[in-house]
């Protein structure tokens, strides 16, 4: 009980924000950052192909650190992740890590899991079975252990550059080895539009440059940001989601969406997430980063998550101008 | 007995012998024995009171000589005086006269542990010379003067105090109830004088009417605080090598503790400082969960309320607190760290007493008094009002809304009955802490948002029957029945509900086998039956990231809902063998069985004390100890039920040296070896996923851990005198762990190399007291972060810890606390107010680090800044 109180006390302290920090808010993009990794499917079969895209902020695009080299991307896959408490290590079997590098050095890659690609069934899964056997104290009669119906495939990305910042990211999808009717694959929520003061961003708008789109605002302005979801009902959580507390324990257990916001300048009203309200307010700074410039490019990212691995990202930018 | 000297004297001068401080022993009565074999083992629960005073016969020719003889009296079980020895002679034949008179004294019997017992005390017999010039006046009308002397504020009767009438010169000495009487006092106004050591002088004019009796009542004020000394606590027979005993008279006003008795334990050697000054008991480098807090030797689940602000049992009802940092006797077990055993006192029986008090955090009340001829009761309660005050201090943008701000209360109801060789105690007590808040936005982890609720409560019904079967055999049966309730829910995702019924029972038997041999044995059983409903992350273990580390969103959740049962019986035996008058050896053994693990231990122990010369004692001990693994570690669903009991060996050698009267030095060197410690099995999936599904046992634990703790403890202690007490405690220690045989030693989470506490309390007058405490503690170890990994699924960053656990330290801690007490003494009650200033020089002590979102920047989290607080207490 004592340690329990310690946790509560620490939690309270953290929540109060009274423990002294003065750090930049998490939502402020000032160096290289990956704000999300979207996948073409949250659940895949062994023969599928999967596309991953890292949504990153490059400070050079916002006029910051413009002399720095561009970011690099190094992808890899871990079929037996040890989880966050083990600091996302990949299992090492007989001195050899099961982590395998993937082809592709861009922010977006496509991975073929089938026999012409990674060959999960022929190459990777036997290693997983061997790992499971080892962890269970050795498989009997030398037979491999049958893997469970689903396995987590953890994709890893090391991106950036020392001059602008280097980040390590993991993105996990489920590999379904046996079909299940009771637990349909989770689908990511989809963001349809990102608006500022009820106007689409000109760069993101189909009718870019149209007078009704949002192209920019002077310093000191407060913008009302909003994202629109693709229409469609929320998904129903599965029993496994509930057991792992990934969904609210409601009846029916409908997934709850949360939104994260990021900006390269200014201050967001909600620094982190705003529950199920897809809105936020961005107060632009009182002056530009560099005196003498007419405008400064500001980037905004909106990320929606369903808490079960599904996510989508929208990115927009606009010019923040000097006061006339 | 009332002693009246009166009359109209014809002599011009008369020498009168009397005991000027006759009923005020110059030192507190000690339960030390008259002979080693008769050594009481318990606490002096009732001091002897002088009931019959016998005047010494002055040797011829000494009528004009004054003298003072310090005697040592042995008050026997029936209250008569046995051996009388002269401790400080004065000559002139006074010594022999005083001895002869003292042998005829009668006292009310003293009691040790509630049973009549022989004790010894110091007694100063004064021979004074009073010049009396009395003129005999025939046919003068006379009256009488009767009265009673009580101590101002406490209303305690003053016994054996001389009351004088100046003209004509008359004297009377108060009896056991503080009464005195003069007969044949000439009518008119007389001047009454009370001039007693340790009390302010009283001079008063009283009218005497012929043929009538004038009744008076004097409230005599102590020159030192009347609250001190009202609790007389004897010393236990020392048989342990590391035991430290605190008495309430010493600790109520120690700065920085707000008068809380249990918190004072944290100022003793061997006890590490808990982060944020919290209530964790980290004793001799052991985990907080490896040390236990007991009430009358029965476990309570929570020693302190929220944040360590206040103990869960009223300090006012405690008689003493024993800290056993290690090498404790066979009667205690199940802890590889230390034991803090608080003993509850018998409520006062002379009249109804009570107090009401309030300070910055809470308010409390106590009422106690007699019930019938043999019974006594006490009712006490306390409730915090932080829930009312905290919202007033929260900033508007705090992102936090308290539904129930930190709130606690506790209660105690005591009935104590004793008659002859039997004593029965019945206690009902409990505690409840609650906290509910809404967190609008997460600080860093999406999981940490929404509504959070925590409630921790326990209640106990405790019964104790002590029966002194014969002079040589005593049995002590105690049973405690109650519930522990722990509930936590968070964000609609996490839930922990644990309701436990528990029964703890002890049957202790003490048999005197001879003049130098005593056998103590007993049965010690604890059993728990309860319900568990949990969906929550695995609690961090020692060496894990305890703070800002792994996000809950990415943590594996353990889920279970079922009943459970634990039964842990133990049998213990101890022999107290006084080999010589100066050498005490206490071998013992304890057998513990754990029903859940189907594992048992046999732990032999031996302690010894040798008084080399008067004032110098060498001590030592070695013994084996066990500790049950945490319930989660042995759980069949999310732990490993195949693990075994954890083991340890304690060893201590030490020296106790009396440096001067009231000044002692207690030093020890200790080494503790921990083995079979439960640690996570290496290379295991601890976060879920396929391996957890495949491995139905959940997290794999093994008894592979080892630990070693060694160091030096020193306590320089100035015992309570009229005006001053204090101590300097210092601990130099190192506590290390090895989580796997192939790993290197690393320091323990709470390893603190230097722990220094210096405190002092000084009574300026009976009204004013000041105190100060200064502490210096090495900063706790911590493991630096080396970047972080972003989990795109959960939008969380998981810090990457350096490979070497606890490889750096927080800055050292030092802090000064000061306190000023003011007493306002009224005739029948006392008001006490205090102002306490914690962290008087506003040191920004580091309690940990806070980090930015990706752990690339960090800042120190400071502890409590300068914090003044005040309190009031009205006592009657």
CB B798 within 8 A of CB B806: no
Nearest CA in chain A to B305: A5
**B617 φ, ψ to 5°?**
-130, 130
What does the pLDDT read at residue A265?
93
Query: Mean pLDDT, to the nearest integer, of B480-508?
Result: 91
Cα–Cα distance, A72 to B788 (Å, whole number): 18
Query: Mean pLDDT, to the nearest integer, of B351-379?
Result: 94
DSSP string, B158-204: P-S-EEEETTTTEEEE--TTSEEEEEEEESEEEEEEE--TTB--EEE
What does the pLDDT read at residue A147?
62
Assigned domain for A50 exists: yes
User: Do A130 and A197 reside in the same domain of the chain?
Assistant: no
| Helices first, then strands: H and E counts in chain A | 3, 19
CA angle A214, A219, A224 (to 5 degrees): 45
What does the pLDDT read at residue B467?
95
User: Do A141 and A226 reside in the same domain of the chain?
Assistant: no
- Structural domain total, chain A: 2
Query: Mean pLDDT, to the nearest integer, of A151-172?
Result: 93
H/E run at residue A99: none
Among B547, B557, B793, select the one facing A172 at the smallest CB separation.
B793
Which residue intervals of A136-260 are DSSP H helices?
239-243
What does the pLDDT read at residue B138?
46
Q: Which has the minimum average pLDDT: A273-277, A318-322, B863-867?
A: A273-277
CB contact under 8 A, A16 and B400: yes
Cα–Cα distance, B488 to B456 (Å, whole number): 9
What is the average pLDDT score of chain B?
A: 83
User: Do A172 and A32 reside in the same domain of the chain?
Assistant: yes
CB B21 within 8 A of CB B126: yes
Closest C-alpha among B596, B599, B601 to residue B636: B596
What does the pLDDT read at residue B431?
96
Confidence of residue B404 (pLDDT cuts 50, 70, 90): low
Instruction: Mark which residues 147-166 of A lie under 8 Å from B by CB.
Output: 147-148, 150-152
Cα–Cα distance, B73 to B93 (Å, whole number): 18
Confidence of residue B548 (pLDDT cuts 50, 70, 90): low
What does the pLDDT read at residue B250?
59
User: Do A152 and A83 reside in the same domain of the chain?
Assistant: yes
Among B546, B548, B857, select the one facing A23 at the smallest CB separation.
B857
Assigned domain for A292 exists: yes
Residues 6 or more apart whose Cβ sits within 8 Å of residue B742: none
Q: What percent of chain B has pLDDT over 90?
A: 43
Cα–Cα distance, B827 to B248 (Å, whole number): 24
What does the pLDDT read at residue B111?
73
pLDDT one-digit tens code per residue, B662-714:
899 999 999 999 999 999 876 444 334 444 433 434 567 889 999 999 999 99
Last residue of a domain, one of A178, A200, A215: A178
Last residue of a domain, one of A115, A147, A178: A178
pLDDT of B284 higher than 70? yes
**Structure token pair of residue B492:** 């609609």
What does the pLDDT read at residue B601?
97
Confidence of residue B59 (pLDDT cuts 50, 70, 90): confident
pLDDT of A313 higher than 90? yes
B724 touches chain A (CB under 8 A): no
CB contact under 8 A, B790 and A167: yes
What does the pLDDT read at residue B707?
95
CB A32 within 8 A of CB A55: no
pLDDT one-digit tens code per residue, B642-656:
899 999 999 999 999
Burial class of residue A294, CB neighbours in 10 A (0-12, 13-18, 19+): exposed
Nearest CA in chain A to B433: A5
CB contact under 8 A, A248 and B492: yes
3-state secondary structure of B308: helix
Q: How many other C-beta atoms can be found within 10 angstroms of the C-beta atom of residue B212?
A: 12
User: Do A144 and A247 reside in the same domain of the chain?
Assistant: no
Assigned domain for A257 exists: yes
B292 touches chain A (CB under 8 A): no
Confidence of residue B21 (pLDDT cuts 50, 70, 90): very low
Cα–Cα distance, B347 to A274 (Å, whole number): 57
Cα separation values, B710 from A250, A275, B177, B736, B751, Å: 54, 51, 54, 9, 11
Rounded to a whole number, what is the distance in angstroms from the first to the last CA of chain A? 61
What range does the domain containing A208 cover? 186-324
Query: Mean pLDDT, to the nearest integer, of B132-143?
Result: 56
Closest C-alpha among B411, B409, B407 to residue B454: B407
User: Do A152 and A191 reside in the same domain of the chain?
Assistant: no
Assign residue A277 the CATH number of its domain: 2.60.40.10
Assigned domain for A71 exists: yes
User: Do A173 and A214 reside in the same domain of the chain?
Assistant: no
Query: Mean pLDDT, to the nearest integer, of A133-141?
Result: 56
Q: What percent of chain B has pLDDT over 70?
A: 84
Assigned domain for A12 exists: no
R_g of chain A computed on alpha carbons:
22
User: Do A137 and A210 reside in the same domain of the chain?
Assistant: no
Confidence of residue B211 (pLDDT cuts 50, 70, 90): confident
Nearest CA in chain B to A91: B683
pLDDT one-digit tens code per residue, B804-837:
889 999 999 999 999 999 989 888 899 999 999 9
Confidence of residue B588 (pLDDT cuts 50, 70, 90): very high
Exposure pattern of B312-323 as b/e (b: 16+ CB <10 Å)? bbbbbbbbbbbb
pLDDT one-digit tens code per residue, A266-277:
999 887 776 678
How far is B661 from chain A, CA to nearest CA, in Å?
A: 40
Nearest CA in chain A to B799: A87
What is the average pLDDT score of chain A?
A: 82
A245 touches chain B (CB under 8 A): yes
CB B121 within 8 A of CB B189: no
Confidence of residue A241 (pLDDT cuts 50, 70, 90): confident
Assign residue A37 the CATH number of its domain: 2.60.40
CB contact under 8 A, A152 and B689: yes
pLDDT of B47 higher than 80? no
Domains in chain B, start-ordered, CATH in brackets? 3-220 (2.60.40.1120), 244-342 (2.170.130.10), 343-875 (2.40.170.20)
pLDDT of A140 higher than 50? no
What does the pLDDT read at residue B555?
72
A12 touches chain B (CB under 8 A): yes
pLDDT of A10 higher than 60? no
CB B435 within 8 A of CB B307: no
What does the pLDDT read at residue B31?
32
pLDDT one-digit tens code per residue, B213-257:
888 888 888 765 544 332 222 334 456 666 666 666 656 778 878
Q: Residue A305's Cα: distance from chain center in Å?
A: 8
User: Do A236 and A300 reside in the same domain of the chain?
Assistant: yes
What does the pLDDT read at residue B205?
86
pLDDT of B842 higher than 90? yes
A41 touches chain B (CB under 8 A): no
Query: Mean pLDDT, to the nearest integer, of B835-854?
Result: 91
pLDDT of B613 higher than 90? yes
Q: How many other C-beta atoms can be found within 10 angstroms of the C-beta atom of residue B494?
A: 19
Cα–Cα distance, B148 to B177 (Å, whole number): 8
| B724-738 and B754-763 beta bridge pairing | antiparallel
A18 touches chain B (CB under 8 A): yes
What does the pLDDT read at residue B442?
67
Nearest CA in chain A to B802: A87
pLDDT of A136 higher than 90? no
User: Do A172 and A197 reside in the same domain of the chain?
Assistant: no
User: Do A165 and A257 reside in the same domain of the chain?
Assistant: no
Q: Which has the minimum average pLDDT: A165-169, B110-114, B534-538, B555-559?
A: B110-114
Confidence of residue B587 (pLDDT cuts 50, 70, 90): very high
What does the pLDDT read at residue B429?
97
Assigned domain for A16 exists: no
Cα–Cα distance, B571 to B331 (Å, whole number): 9
Residues 6 or more apart whose Cβ sits within 8 Å of residue B452: A8, A11, B435, B436, B437, B438, B439, B488, B489, B490, B491
CB B256 within 8 A of CB B66: no
Assigned domain for A280 exists: yes
3-state secondary structure of A130: helix
What does the pLDDT read at residue B135?
40
Q: Which has the minimum average pLDDT: A62-76, B266-280, B483-497, B546-560?
A: B546-560
DSSP B817: E
What does the pLDDT read at residue B376?
96
User: Do A190 and A171 reside in the same domain of the chain?
Assistant: no
pLDDT of B8 higher than 50? no
Assigned domain for A209 exists: yes
* Beta strand segments in B14-141, E: 14-18, 44-46, 50-52, 67-75, 81-88, 106-107, 111-112, 115-116, 119-130
Cα–Cα distance, B519 to B509 (Å, whole number): 8
Q: What percent of chain A has pLDDT over 90?
A: 36
Last residue of a domain, one of A160, A178, A196: A178
3-state secondary structure of B266: helix
3-state secondary structure of A85: helix
CB contact under 8 A, A85 and B687: yes
**Structure token pair of residue A237:** 């959580």
Burial class of residue A310, CB neighbours in 10 A (0-12, 13-18, 19+): buried
Confidence of residue A210 (pLDDT cuts 50, 70, 90): low
Q: Which has the minimum average pLDDT: A135-144, B158-167, B293-302?
A: A135-144
């Amino acid at each position: 009980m004592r340690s329990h109180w310690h946790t509560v006390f620490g939690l309270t302290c953290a929540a109060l924000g009274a423990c002294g920090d003065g750090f930049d808010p998490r939502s402020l993009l000032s160096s290289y950052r990956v704000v999300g990794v979207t996948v073409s499917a949250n659940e895949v079969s062994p023969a599928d192909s999967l596309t991953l895209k890292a949504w990153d902020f490059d400070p050079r695009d916002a006029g910051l650190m413009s002399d720095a080299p561009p970011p690099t991307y190094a992808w890899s896959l871990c079929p037996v992740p040890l989880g966050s408490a083990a600091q996302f290590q990949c299992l090492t079997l007989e001195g050899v890590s099961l982590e395998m590098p993937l082809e592709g050095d861009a922010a977006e890659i496509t991975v073929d899991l089938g026999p012409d690609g990674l060959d999960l069934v022929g190459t990777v899964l036997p290693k997983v079975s061997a790992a499971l056997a080892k962890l269970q104290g050795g498989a009997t009669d030398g037979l491999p252990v049958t893997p469970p119906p689903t396995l987590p495939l953890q994709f890893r990305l090391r991106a950036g550059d020392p001059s602008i910042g280097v980040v390590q990211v993991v993105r996990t999808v489920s590999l379904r080895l046996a079909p299940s009717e009771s637990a349909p694959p989770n689908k990511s929520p989809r963001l349809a539009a990102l608006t500022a003061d009820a106007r689409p961003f000109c760069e993101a708008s189909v009718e870019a440059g149209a007078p009704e789109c949002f192209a920019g605002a002077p310093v000191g302005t407060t913008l009302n940001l909003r994202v629109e979801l693709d229409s469609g009902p929320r998904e129903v959580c599965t029993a496994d989601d509930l057991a792992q507390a990934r969904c609210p324990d409601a009846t029916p257990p409908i997934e709850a969406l949360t939104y994260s916001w990021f900006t390269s300048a200014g201050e967001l009203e909600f620094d982190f997430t705003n529950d199920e309200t897809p809105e936020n307010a961005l107060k632009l700074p009182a002056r530009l980063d560099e005196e003498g410039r007419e405008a400064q490019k500001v980037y905004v990212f909106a990320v929606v998550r369903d808490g079960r691995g599904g996510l989508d990202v929208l990115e927009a930018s606009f010019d923040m101008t000097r006061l006339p | 007995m009332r002693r009246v000297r009166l009359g109209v004297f014809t002599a011009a001068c008369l020498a009168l012998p009397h005991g000027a401080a006759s009923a005020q022993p110059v030192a507190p009565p000690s339960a030390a024995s008259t002979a080693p074999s008769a050594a009481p083992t318990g606490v002096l629960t009732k001091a002897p009171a002088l009931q019959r005073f016998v005047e010494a016969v002055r040797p011829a020719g000494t009528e004009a000589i004054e003298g003072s003889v310090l005697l040592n009296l042995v008050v026997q079980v029936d209250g008569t005086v046995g051996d009388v020895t002269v401790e400080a002679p004065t000559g002139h034949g006074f010594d022999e006269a005083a001895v002869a008179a003292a042998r005829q004294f009668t006292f009310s019997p003293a009691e040790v542990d509630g049973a009549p017992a022989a004790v010894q005390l110091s007694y100063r017999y004064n021979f004074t010379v009073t010049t009396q010039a009395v003129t005999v006046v025939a046919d003068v009308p006379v009256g009488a003067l009767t009265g009673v002397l009580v101590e101002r504020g406490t209303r305690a009767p003053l016994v054996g105090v001389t009351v004088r009438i100046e003209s004509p010169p008359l004297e009377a000495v108060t009896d056991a109830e503080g009464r005195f009487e003069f007969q044949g006092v000439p009518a008119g106004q007389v001047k009454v004088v009370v001039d007693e050591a340790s009390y302010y002088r009283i001079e008063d004019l009283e009218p005497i009417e012929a043929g009538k009796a004038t009744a008076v009542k004097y409230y005599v004020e102590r020159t030192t605080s009347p609250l001190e000394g009202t609790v007389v606590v004897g010393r236990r027979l020392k048989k342990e090598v590391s035991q430290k005993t605190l008495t309430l008279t010493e600790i109520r006003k120690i700065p920085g503790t707000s008068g809380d008795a249990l918190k004072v334990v944290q100022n003793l050697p061997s006890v590490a400082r808990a982060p944020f000054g919290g209530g964790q008991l980290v004793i001799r480098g052991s985990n907080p969960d490896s040390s236990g807090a007991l009430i009358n030797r029965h476990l309570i689940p929570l020693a302190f309320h929220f944040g360590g602000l206040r103990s869960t049992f009223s300090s006012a009802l405690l008689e003493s607190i024993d800290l056993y940092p290690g090498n404790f006797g066979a009667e205690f077990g199940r802890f590889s760290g230390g034991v803090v055993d608080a003993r509850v006192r018998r409520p006062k029986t002379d009249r109804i007493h009570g107090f009401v008090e309030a300070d910055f955090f809470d308010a409390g009340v106590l009422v106690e008094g007699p019930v019938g001829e043999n019974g006594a009761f006490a009712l006490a309660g306390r409730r915090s009002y932080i829930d009312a005050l905290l919202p007033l201090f929260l900033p508007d943008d705090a992102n936090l809304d308290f539904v129930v701000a930190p709130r606690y209360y506790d209660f105690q109801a005591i009935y104590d009955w004793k008659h002859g060789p039997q004593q029965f105690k019945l206690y009902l007590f409990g505690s409840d802490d609650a906290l509910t808040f809404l967190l609008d936005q997460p600080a860093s982890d999406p999981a940490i948002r929404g509504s959070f609720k925590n409630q921790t409560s326990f209640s106990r019904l405790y019964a104790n029957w002590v029966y002194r079967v014969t002079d040589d055999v005593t049995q002590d049966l105690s049973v405690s029945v109650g519930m522990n309730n722990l509930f936590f829910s968070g964000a609609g995702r996490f839930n922990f509900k644990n309701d436990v019924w528990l029964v703890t029972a002890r049957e202790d038997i003490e048999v005197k086998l001879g003049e130098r041999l005593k056998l103590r044995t007993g049965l010690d059983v604890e059993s728990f039956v309860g319900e568990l409903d949990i969906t929550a992350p695995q609690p961090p273990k020692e060496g894990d990231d305890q703070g800002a580390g792994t996000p809950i969103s990415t943590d594996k959740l353990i889920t279970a809902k079922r009943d459970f049962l634990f039964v842990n019986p133990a049998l213990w035996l101890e022999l107290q063998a006084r080999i010589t008058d100066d050498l005490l050896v206490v071998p013992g053994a304890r057998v513990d069985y754990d029903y859940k693990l189907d594992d048992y231990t046999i732990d032999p122990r031996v302690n010894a004390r040798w008084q080399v010369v008067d004032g110098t004692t060498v001590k030592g001990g070695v013994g084996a100890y066990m500790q049950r693994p945490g319930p989660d570690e042995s759980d069949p669903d999310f732990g490993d039920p195949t693990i075994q009991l954890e083991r340890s060996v304690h060893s201590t050698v030490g020296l106790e040296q009396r440096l001067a009267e009231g000044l002692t030095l207690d030093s020890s060197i200790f080494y503790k070896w921990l083995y079979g410690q439960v640690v996570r099995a290496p290379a295991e999936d601890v976060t879920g996923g396929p391996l957890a599904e495949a491995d139905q046992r959940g997290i794999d634990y093994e008894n592979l851990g080892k630990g070693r703790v060694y160091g030096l403890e020193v306590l320089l202690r100035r015992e309570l005198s009229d005006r001053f007490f204090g101590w300097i405690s210092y601990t130099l220690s190192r506590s290390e762990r090895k989580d796997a045989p192939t790993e290197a030693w690393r320091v323990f989470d709470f390893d603190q190399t230097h722990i220094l506490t210096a405190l002092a309390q000084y009574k300026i007058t009976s009204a004013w007291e000041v105190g100060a405490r200064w502490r210096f503690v090495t900063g706790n170890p911590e493991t630096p972060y080396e970047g972080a990994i972003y989990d795109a699924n959960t939008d969380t960053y998981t810090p990457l810890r350096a490979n070497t656990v606890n490889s750096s330290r927080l800055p050292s801690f030092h802090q000064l606390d000061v306190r000023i007490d003011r007493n306002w003494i009224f005739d029948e009650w006392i008001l006490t107010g205090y102002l306490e200033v914690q962290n008087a020089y506003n040191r920004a002590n580091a309690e940990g680090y806070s980090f930015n979102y990706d752990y690339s920047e960090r800042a120190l989290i400071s502890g409590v800044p300068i914090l003044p607080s005040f309190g009031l207490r009205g006592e009657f």
